[in-house]
Amino acid sequence: MNESEYIYCTRCGAPMKREARYCMKCGNLNYDHPDNQKMKEFAPKQEKTYEIGSGKITANTSFTANSMEHATNTGNKQVFLTVNVLWFLLTYGLSVVLGILHIINFSAVFFIFLILSLFNIYIIPLEIINMKANKPWWGALVPIYNIALLTEIAFGKMIYFLFYFIPVVNMFFLLVALYQLGKRFNKNPILTMLFNIFMLPIIAFGTSLYNGINYVDLKDKDAVEKEFKMRRGLLYCILLFFIVGLGGFIYCNITSVDTLLDGASDEIFVQNAKIIVNKVKKNISKGNFTCSEETSLTPNSIHYFVFDNVEDEFGIPSFSDRSLSAYVKVFNNSGTLEYFISITDGERGFSEIKDDTLDSTKLGAFKELPSVDKSKECFLE
């Protein structure tokens, strides 16, 4: 019996010869055996079966045993694991050292963690997919050659790789290749084609098999389980570094986010101040106002337009839990009206800033509006 004719028991996962009628370990029938075909219809629909490569017992309605063949062209899998572990130590470790030495700040360190994790979650699955299809894992690291290998895995022939060099056609060629890749690994081909950034890791780190075949070291009866645990270990490392990077980056930039939000509210302060002044100007130009003094807005006079609740009076949306109050001082400078705005939310604001010089740099601590001379107060109609 050739080693390549061994299969797995679908119930307990024990290796067994393809010609065997039942598993010597648990007695489970091999329903692919010609003499057992008639028994297949009597098999329980939800028998507890072994999920190949996962180490789990799950409910499974499929009783087809997956082939186990000798991995002859994957490259040394221990070298694969060693290279990737060293890559993790070198890249992630170097970024931490740069942070400790203050060559870069820790916000940059965590950002590098994020970028490296996104790179690894793409390139390492390609290496694993190569091994699952009995192709050299290192081929995923070689430009152009990695596309050639993907072509051979997807279509069964590398000659189709020539389409990659035809402009425009190459874009459609890659989509079709990804579609075929999904079919080869028994995954939804459309999802694999459109969302390959998610599907490639699922194919690589999951239990999907290339054409239903496990390419493993047949001399090691636990090879499938060991390889499954190795792949999951790499996945957990990538996810751990991604979570650390994301959490650290957010934490390091909380102050920056607050500053950004403060900057946005500063601009809103300026906009609101301009809205108030412009409305006062518009109403004065139309004569839609009244003042306490009969000689309103006479030359060299000063008058005030006071607004206790800016949001309600002007329909201005609030940007904090504190309401705005404001007044506009109008100074008649020998016939020329000049406008000065004061506005506060109870903590900061503008204090009599001329309307044509309004900008966020003039914002300061300004807790409450000073009292104004009631005899000089005016009202919009």
- Minimum mean pLDDT range among 42-46, 269-273, 314-318: 42-46
Name the band, by pLDDT with cuts 50, 70 and 90, for residue 70. Answer: confident
**In the prediction, which pLDDT does 65 show?**
45
**In the prediction, which pLDDT does 113 show?**
94
pLDDT surpasses 90 at 3: no
What distance separates the 2 farthest-apart alpha carbons in the chain? 115
Mean pLDDT of 183-205: 92
Neighbouring C-beta atoms of residue 283, cutoff 10 Å? 16
C-alpha dist (Å) from residue 57 to 46, 47, 50, 196, 232: 12, 10, 5, 28, 17
Long-range CB pairs of 133-137 (<8 Å, 24+ gap) are 133/184, 133/210, 133/215, 134/69, 134/71, 134/72, 134/73, 134/74, 134/210, 134/213, 134/215, 135/73, 135/74, 136/73, 136/74, 136/75, 137/74, 137/75, 137/77, 137/80
Name the band, by pLDDT with cuts 50, 70 and 90, for residue 295. Answer: low
Measure the CA angle with vertex 56, ends 73 and 13; round to 5°.
Answer: 60
CA 188 centroid distance within chain? 22
Mean pLDDT of 239-266: 72
Per-residue pLDDT tens digits for 106-143: 888 999 999 999 999 999 999 999 999 999 999 999 99
The first and second tokens of residue 230, run together, are 């190795």
**In the prediction, which pLDDT does 51 show?**
54
Mean pLDDT of 186-193: 92
> Which of residues 14 and 275 earns the better pLDDT score?
275
**In the prediction, which pLDDT does 175 show?**
93
> Which of residues 38 and 166 earns the better pLDDT score?
166
**In the prediction, which pLDDT does 317 show?**
60
**In the prediction, which pLDDT does 258 show?**
47
Mean pLDDT of 50-61: 48
CA 233 centroid distance within chain? 21
Measure the CA angle with vertex 63, ends 60 and 66; round to 5°.
Answer: 105
User: Residue 308's closest CA among 327, 290, 284, 328?
Assistant: 327
**In the prediction, which pLDDT does 6 show?**
61
Per-residue pLDDT tens digits for 301-345: 899 999 888 877 777 665 556 678 889 999 998 889 999 999 888
Amino acid in position 220: D
Name the band, by pLDDT with cuts 50, 70 and 90, for residue 260. Answer: very low
Name the band, by pLDDT with cuts 50, 70 and 90, for residue 26. Answer: confident
Measure the CA angle with vertex 121, ends 79 and 104; round to 5°.
Answer: 95
**In the prediction, which pLDDT does 319 show?**
57
| CA–CA distance, 326 with 178 (Å, rounded to integer) | 63
| CA–CA distance, 28 with 30 (Å, rounded to integer) | 7
Using DSSP's 3-state secondary structure scheme, residue 139 falls into helix
**In the prediction, which pLDDT does 67 show?**
67
**In 41-55, which positions are buried (b, 16+ CB within 10 angstroms) versus exposed (e)?**
eeeeeeeebbebbbe
Neighbouring C-beta atoms of residue 11, cutoff 10 Å? 19
> DSSP for 246-283?
HHHHHHHTHHHHHHHHHHHHHHHHHHHHHHHHHHHHHH
329: DSSP letter: E
CA 28 centroid distance within chain? 45
Name the pTM for this structure: 0.58
Enclosing H/E stretch for 351: strand 348-354
Mean pLDDT of 344-349: 82
Measure the CA angle with vertex 357, ends 351 and 359; round to 5°.
Answer: 75
**In the prediction, which pLDDT does 66 show?**
57
User: Residue 297's closest CA among 335, 341, 240, 344?
Assistant: 335
**In the prediction, which pLDDT does 237 show?**
94
